[in-house]
Amino acid sequence: MKHLELASGARMPAFGLGTWNSAPGEVGAAVRTALELGYRHIDCAAVYGNEAEVGDAFARAFADGVVAREDVWITSKLWCNAHRESEVGPALERTLADLRCEYLDLYLVHWPVALRADASPPAGPGDYLSLEEVPLEETWTGMRGVKARGLCRHIGVSNYSSKKLRSHAAFDDPPEIDQVEMHPYLRQDRLAGAASEHGVRLMAYSPLGSGARPATLQRSGDPVLLEDPTVRAIAAELSATPAQVLIAWALERGTCAIPKSTNPGRIAENLGGASLELDAASMARLDALDRGLRYVHGAFWAKEGSPYTVETLWDGDV
């Protein structure tokens, strides 16, 4: 398994299993399958609504000797309704209880968006708070606090633009990770430059193009990344699958990839991408596919009553 060295010197598995949009009754079995196959990084989030089932899978796998807790990198995320400093600790404690763990390896601020504490997704009119009302620095102080308490070993952010990432670089104990959508249709070169400048590693969600994203994110005319002719041609040349090619592309760029699946065959197939090697010519062909396309576009944060817009969310990053 490939690893990425973080700014702190820690080594994080560069490939893992995502659990976003994994259905109840399926996600626990998916986690168990992944661990048995050799996955050593599982990505979770409170808002996914399935952390308790994931936690049961962890507890059984650890008890059965499939893997030791210290050999699995567990990531989770702070939801948007707990951005005040006083709310970060209780939110993480709930996640730890659900995941049946004493600590996380990595805790991320899920979105640079603040909601009222009693708001639950999907956010409605009046549920939103602005970043001015809950400053990014206040949320980060809360994140530093839970790290100091030993509830998590590393802290980072998710869905943060290059502009917001640079603002965090001035904070004490800056982020080590920014988890963002990234694939050949969305190379994120501007963000990658900012991340490299400040010693932040990027973690790619939806590295296969988010084909199973919720209907609310589906837009007419969006291309299917796994069906792209260039991706399919490279896969055929290498006797690999399109998914394996996309995973290999992400890892070759020095990013972490966390594709989601609950299908045992696909979970095994995706793992094969972690050992696939792409030459410079194949990388260049994939790089040329960039079109600045976000499948997780963020327009759901720009509803009635919201102080956020898609433009201010991404700050011009493509």
Residue with tokens 């410079």: 280
Q: Is 48 a catalytic residue?
A: yes
CA pseudo-torsion sign 59, 62, 63, 64: positive
Residue with tokens 């602005």: 130
Q: How far apart are CA 301 and CA 112, in angstroms?
A: 10
Q: Which helix (H) or strand (E) holds 180?
A: strand 177-181
Reading the block at residue 275, the tokens are: 């050992």
Q: Which of 291, 303, 300, 298 is nearest to 315 (CA)?
A: 298
Q: How far apart are CA 46 and CA 240, in angstroms?
A: 34
Q: How far apart are CA 161 and CA 153, in angstroms?
A: 23
At 269, give phi and psi (nearest 5°).
-60, -45
Q: How far apart are CA 215 and CA 305, in angstroms?
A: 23
Residue with tokens 């430059």: 193
Q: Which of 21, 189, 165, 157 is nearest to 80 (CA)?
A: 157
- 99 contacts 61 by C-beta, under 8 angstroms: no
At 118, give phi and psi (nearest 5°).
-95, 5
With 0-12 CB in 10 A as exposed, 13-18 as middle and 19+ as buried, what is 281? exposed
For residue 95, the SS3 value is helix
Catalytic residue, from 48, 205, 295, 308: name it: 48
Q: How far apart are CA 284 and CA 296, in angstroms?
A: 25
Q: How far apart are CA 96 and CA 89, in angstroms?
A: 11
Residues marked as catalytic: 48
